[in-house]
Structure 1
Amino acid sequence: MNDRWSSLEDPIEAKLGGNVQWRSPLSGDDYAEYRDGEFLDIVDLGHLRSDLADFWPSRGPQWDALGVGPKGQVILVEAKAHVGEMCSPPTGASQASRRRITDNLNACAQLLGAREGHADWSRHFYQIANRLAHLRFLRERGVDAYLVLVNFLNDREMGGPSTPEAWEAAYQVAFHVLGLSKRHPLSRYIVDVYPDVATMRGQE
C-alpha cells in the first residue's frame, strides 16, 4: 500500500473509476491494521460506530488494508498468500456474542440466497463469511463499499498458488460450502485481485 504495485491496484482502480487513497497499513502509522470502530474512523465512517457495536461484538474482522476510492467508495481488503488461510477456525466468541454473530451471519446468508442446508457460517469458512456480513452491514447503511479479495500469486515462501485459476477453484469450493452461487446480491461489490509476488520482487 506504500509503493505502487500495478497488478494489485490496477484492477481495483478500473472497477472504481480512478485512484485509490490507501488509509492503512501505512509506514507512517507503523503498518497498523484496524478493526471495530477504529476501522470506521479510518475511512471516515465514525458516525456508524454505534451501529457497528450493535451489529457485531468487539474484536471483529481486522482488515488487511483500508482505502477510499475516487468517488468516496470504501474499500475493505482481505489478503491471502496461500489457500490454507481460507480454512479459518470457527468463531471463538462467548455464548452471548456467538448468538449475535450467528444471527447476523444467518441474515446475510438469507439475503444472498444461500441454498437450504448450507453449512453453518459461524463454523465453516468463517473469515470469508464475516467479511461478507460486514460488506452487507455497510451497504445497507448507504455506504458504497467494496470487498477486495487480494490473492497473491507465486509466493514461494508461503507455498501459494501460481495461477488465478487455482485461487478461483478454492473460492468455488468455499462458496459452495456456504451455499452461495457465483452470482448473488453482493457479488458485484467484490473485487478479486491477483498480484504477482515474483513480478514485484523483480522490480525491486
Structure 2
Amino acid sequence: MRTDPATGRAFRGSQKWLQHLVEHAPERLEPPKLGRLDWVSPIPATQYREYQDYAFLDILGLGHLDTALREFWPRGGAVWDGLAQSKSGPVLVEAKAHVSESFSSPCGATAPASLELIRKSLSDCSRDLGADMRSDWARCHYQTANRIAHLWWLHRQGIRAHLLFVHFVGDAEMKGPKSAETWIAVEMAANYALGLPKQHGLSDFIHYVHTDVSNIG
C-alpha cells in the first residue's frame, strides 16, 4: 500500500481508512463490549507506524514478554494494523477493506526452524480452542489464524487482551463489500474453515466492527 514518505499517511484501502478514523472519528471503531479505545497506532505522532515483534509488545507496555514471544513465534511475525488500550486490556487490530484480503496466502516462512515453531504454536492454539484438527492453520486463512494465535498466547501470559477485526464497508476504489452482511458471511466462513467451534475460550475477546466509509472523502 502506497504511503506518503514524509508523513506515513496512506492513500488507499484499509490502511487509509483506519488512519483517518483513528484520527478523526475513533468512536466508529469501538465495539460496544469494549467501549472507548486509546489508540497508540496508527497515529500521526509516530507517522502512522505499524508495529510487530518486540515493538508491538513495548508500545502496549508488555516489553517484559519479549523472551516469551521469541519462544512462541519467530522474528518477522504479525504486523498489527492498529494497537490500542481499553479498560479491560490491550487491543490488537486487523483491518480490511476488501474480501480478498481475508483469503491470505499460506504461511510464507521458509526456514525449517521458523516453520516448525509456527506450526507448533498454531497447533497448540487450535487444539486448546477445541478446533477441528483436520484444519491446517498454516495454510487455511493463515492471517486470521496467526492473529488468533497471538491473542491466545497473550492470554497464556496472563494478559486479557482483545482482538478487533475492523472491516470497512463501501470502499468503491478497492471494490470492497457494500454491506456488513457480506463481511459477516466472510467471518463465518473463516471460522468454519479454521474448524473453530461457535463458542470457545477466546470468543468473548474477539470483536468485529463493520464501518461504512462510502461517504468519507
TM-score scaled by structure 2? 0.86
Partner of 1:15: 33
- Whether 2:63 is the aligned partner of 1:46: answer yes
Match of 1:68 among 75, 80, 85: 85
Does residue 30 (structure 1) correspond to residue 47 (structure 2)? The answer is yes
Q: Distance in 2 between matches of 1:4 and 1:116?
A: 41
Q: Look up the SS of the partner of 1:142 in the other structure.
A: coil
Aligned partner of 2:7 in structure 1 is: none
| Counterpart amino acid of residue 54 in structure 2 | G
Identity in percent: 45
The answer (yes or no) to whether the contact 2:97–2:167 under 8 Å persists in 1 is yes
**Where is the helix percentage greater, Structure 1 or Structure 2?**
1
Distance change (3 Å), C-alpha of 1:177 and 1:26 = same
Q: 1:143 to 1:116 in 2, by over 3 A?
A: closer
1:133 alignment partner in structure 2: 149
Tell me the alpha carbon deviations over residues 157-194 of structure 1, each in whole angstroms, 9 at most, x when there is no partner.
Answer: 11111212111111222111111122221111001001
Correspondence for 1:103 among 91, 113, 120: 120
Equivalent position amino acid for 1:6 in 2:
E
The one-letter code sitting in structure 2 at the alignment partner of 1:169 is: A
Gaps of 5+ in 2: 1-21
Structure 2 Cα separation of the partners of residues 159 and 169 of structure 1: 17
| Matched residue, 2:160 | 144
Q: Which of residues 63, 83, 100 is equivalent to 1:84?
A: 100
Whole-angstrom CA distance in 2 between matches of 1:83 and 1:152: 10
Q: Supply the AA of the counterpart residue of 2:124.
A: A
Task: Indicate the RMSD between aligned Cα atoms, in angstroms.
Answer: 1.3
Shift of 1:116: 4.1
Distance (Å, rounded) in 2 between the aligned partners of 1:80 and 1:49: 27
Check whether the contact 1:7–1:196 (CA below 8 A) recurs between aligned residues: no
Aligned residue-pair number: 195
- Partner residue of 1:115? 132
Distance 1:74 1:5 in 2: 16
Instruction: State the TM-score, normalizing by the size of structure 1.
Output: 0.91
Q: What whole-Å deviation, never above 9, does each CA across 1:90-109 have from its counterpart, x for those lacking one?
A: 11211110000000101111
